[in-house]
């Protein structure tokens, strides 16, 4: 297993182990497909804003996966 896979599994496990209520967030109106916090909720609690998250997500996308970005 690579370091990237190890980090991914660690983050998934940590997000799943904390409910929105435990983090002080409302449970939400929609049903969750997976247990725990959503990525956006983790980012909000960490103080990371949407404009900063998006480029980070795009950096991990395969080359050419995002049309028009970085060209």
Could you please report the per-residue DSSP string of 34-59?
A: SSS--HHHHHHHHT--HHHHHHHHHH
| pTM tops 0.75, yes or no | no
DSSP-assigned letter for residue 30: S
Q: Which positions ≥6 away from 42 have C-beta within 8 Å?
A: 15
Q: What is the pLDDT along the chain (71 residues), one digit of tens a residue?
A: 689 899 889 988 988 999 888 988 887 666 778 888 888 888 888 887 755 455 555 555 555 554 444 44
- Other Cβ atoms closer than 10 A to 37: 22
């Amino acid at each position: 297993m690579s370091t990237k896979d190890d980090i991914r599994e660690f983050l998934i496990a940590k997000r799943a182990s904390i409910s929105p209520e435990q983090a002080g967030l409302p449970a939400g109106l929609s049903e969750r497909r997976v247990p725990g916090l959503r990525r956006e909720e983790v980012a909000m609690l960490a103080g990371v804003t949407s404009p900063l998250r998006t480029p980070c997500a795009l950096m991990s996308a395969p080359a050419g996966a995002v049309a028009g970005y970085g060209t």
